[in-house]
Amino acid sequence: MEVNEKIAVEHGLSVDEFKKICELLKRTPNITELGIFSAMWNEHCSYKSSRKHLKNLHTKGKRVIQGPGENAGVIDIDDDDAIVFKIESHNHPSFIEPYQGAATGVGGIMRDVFTMGARPIANLNSIHFGSPQNKKTKNLLRGVVKGIGGYGNCIGVPTIAGQTSFDESYNGNILVNAMTLGLVNKNKIFYSKAAGLNKPVIYVGSKTGRDGIHGASMASAVFDDKIEEKKPTVQVGDPFTEKLLLEACLELMADKSIIAIQDMGAAGLTSSSVEMASKGKLGIELNLSKVPCREEKMTPYEIMLSESQERMLIVLENGKEEKAKKIFDKWNLDFAVIGKTTNSNKIQLFFDEKKVAEIPIDYLAENSPVYDRKWKKTKLPQKINFKKQDLKSLNLEDCLKKILSNSNVCDKQWIWDQYDHTVMGDTIQKPGGDAGVVRVHGTSKAVAACVDSSAVYCYAHPISGGKQIVCESYRNLISVGSIPIAITNCLNFGNPEKEKNMGEFVECVQGISEASEYLDFPVVSGNVSFYNETKDKGIKPTPSIGGVGLIKNYKNMTTMEFKNEGNIVLVIGKTIGHLDQSIFAREILSEKKGPPPEINLFNEKNNGSTVLKLINKYLVEACHDVSLGGILVGIAKMCIKSNKGLKINKLNTLMNKFEYFFGEDQARYIIEVKKDNLEKVKNILNENSVSFDQLGIVSEKNLEFGKEINISIDDLNKDYKTWLRKYMVN
């Protein structure tokens, strides 16, 4: 096939990029070379629109062993233990084919983790769907949840936490973000940097097929009416093979045979070989005739661009090939020596004894395009002056019931019931709380993890929204009694070529960086997903933040359910009653304008560290952060979780009761304390200059507030737990 501008554009390259390629090579590339450039220069692999701004993220910390730039981030959790973790998107594939898209998203992120020598111990997810009224939403939700469960359950890794939201901006582009944590000895971490000359390059895992070709390029494009035609670009996963691959890789890692290892994810053999060589400042030579293929007459182009799943590329020490082959033979996996490292600083491909491609590595990696795209700032919206008359006509109890049954607040147990969250036997806090928690097997330590996002806040004001998500992750980890250590981010945005979208990205990154630096909560890994757009309609900016924390003794873990009648409930942090952008404003008042709540980073850090101090002194019986829905929704969830009630005190405030109960002010927690410990708790709070309100007393079966609220836990349950199950059945 003769390569020209038209063919290049069909591959997702611009005319200028094609001209640049011809200029660099001093010739026109052949079709295989063009395919390689299109894979490595697309947004998904090159980060060409985001790289400039990602450099501004805060990535350093005393517990950070490996920050961004590897398959996953690594943090120190004391002794010889480390946690490897990352979150990554599989948005476009999941919209096209929800089961396989979501399943291979889970498989891909797990490979990123065990590639580094870690055994996966927990999965999480952040999934976002269109309006419940949209005709596609229900089937997409069903397929995605089935795919996540189908892969994670089969491979035997618990899914311990997650987040689900619905918004009309996702009607044409759902988001599926998958996160995995793995445990590794910090002295036995494996990296993807190739080293040494004439070292054998090994292909292991499944055979290569034609599935997933152009998957990375598809992920870097907007959708149109021909979306169904893109199904062949979606990868097909096999969790049982991945389990075999996991065990085989970990067995080989126990021997000192591996120099470098990289999973074949986006762009398959192309990206894995190029990235390994680039990091090692080496060249790489591959004989594509030796690549195990499951389909006949596959071309070099197809072999290099296939995104068939459950495959790894390894650089071995010389003389270790036979020993390695025996391991992979035992696990019934393909093993083939397909090339070697060289000093050429090029990728050189051979097929049927002919050279079919030759490209300098730098052209594909370090010197790939970097764009400084134009962007627009988002002004902070003016505050809404809610009319007191409108609030007076409302009923507190009715408002609470309506919000609890809202699609973004309601119970998501229908989803996580389909995930195995107890496999491996170390899950000590399952989905449904502020964070999932797993024990570090054989120790007294535990690791907490959560995933959060808030497209509503980010859309209103990206800087504030970016800060808020980091802070919410921080609070969720504090709420279970863990020390927040680090985060991973999956940044989901629309078309970066539009100034508004690019501005949302830039400012969200700014907010994330400011908050993570102040809270000493660095970003150690992540992913950017652009072009989440269909027919010129993009998603709301949706950065997902995955947080990880350490509980030094898992007996200190805190849960959100109330423990005993007669205990006192406090609200930690100052309440000013911010209703703008709250679920109350949107659901009850139909008001979608206004600024998100103010983020005070000093209060976030001070309030959080003080609550953690109280937990570690065994002064807190239950803890839950105040977030979506405000105080009243927070305590309602605690009541439901524990099957206990709460008698709320008369309010000692001048603000309107709706502002107090439904305002989404930040840096707040709800804690339960014993009467005997109340004075100790108050003293510590005062010593640390932390504002608090004494909210009420844990009671039997009703949530009560004067004559305005008197709801049984059974009724709360009905409102909270019915919507999603009913929606999925009908």
Q: What value does the CA radius of gyration of the chain take, rounded to a whole number of Å?
A: 26
Distance CA 343, CA 482 (A): 48
Compute the half-sphere exposure of residue 89: CA atoms within 13 Å on the CB side of its CA.
31
> Which of 53, 58, 90, 461 does the annotation list as catalytic?
90
> How many C-beta atoms lie closer than 10 Å to residue 137's C-beta?
20
Query: How far apart are alpha carbons 714 and 722 in whole angstroms?
Result: 12
72 backbone dihedrals φ, ψ, rounded to 5°? -160, 165
Would you state the structure tokens that stand for residue 478, as one six-digit string?
């504090």
**Pick from 511, 503, 543, 508: nearest CA to 526:** 543
CB of 27 closer than 8 Å to CB of 358: no
Give the phi and the psi of residue 336 in degrees, each rounded to 5. -150, 135
Q: Does residue 461 carry a catalytic annotation?
A: no
The answer for residues whose C-beta is within 8 angstroms of residue 686's C-beta and 6 or more apart is: none
Q: In what order do the strands lie in the sheet with 73-76?
A: 64-66, 73-76, 81-89, 175-185, 119-129, 159-166
CA 460, 461, 464 angle in degrees (round to 5)?
A: 130
Active site annotation includes 624: no
Q: Which DSSP string corresponds to 535-598? A: TTEEPPPEEEEEEEEEESSGGG---SS---TT-EEEEES------TTSHHHHHTS----SPPPP
Q: Which long-range contacts (CB under 8 A, 24 or more apart) does 293-298 make?
A: 293/207, 293/208, 293/209, 294/206, 294/207, 294/208, 294/209, 295/209, 295/210, 298/208, 298/210
Q: Which of 403, 428, 12 is nearest to 230 (CA)?
A: 12
Burial bucket for residue 29 (CB in 10 Å: 0-12, 13-18, 19+): buried
- CA neighbor of 642 nearest in space, from 650, 654, 653, 634: 634
Task: Give me the phi and psi of 388, to 5 degrees please.
Answer: -60, -30
Helices (H), 156-267: 215-218, 239-253
Assess contact for 48 and 371: CB atoms under 8 A. yes
Detail the DSSP E strand segments found in 55-118: 64-66, 73-76, 81-89
> Which residue, 533, 469, 586, is CA-closest to 174?
533
Q: In what order do the strands lie in the sheet with 645-648?
A: 622-625, 669-673, 568-572, 692-699, 645-648, 702-705, 709-712
Given 44, 92, 461, 578, which residue is catalytic? 44
Residue 616, SS3? helix
Burial bucket for residue 229 (CB in 10 Å: 0-12, 13-18, 19+): exposed
Residue type, 701: K
Q: What is d(CA 394, CA 377) in angstroms, rounded to the nearest whole number?
A: 37
The torsion angles phi and psi of 61, rounded to 5 degrees, stand at -170, 160
Q: Are strands 175-185 and 645-648 parallel, antiparallel or unpaired?
A: unpaired
> CA 160, CA 436: separation in Å to the nearest integer?
5
3 state SS of 478:
helix
| E runs forming strands in 68-174 | 73-76, 81-89, 119-129, 159-166
Q: Which helix (H) or strand (E) holds 477?
A: helix 462-479
Which positions ≥6 away from 310 have C-beta within 8 Å?
Answer: 107, 111, 205, 206, 237, 238, 241, 242, 245
Residue whose tokens read 């111990």: 121
Q: List, by residue number, the catalytic residues.
A: 44, 90
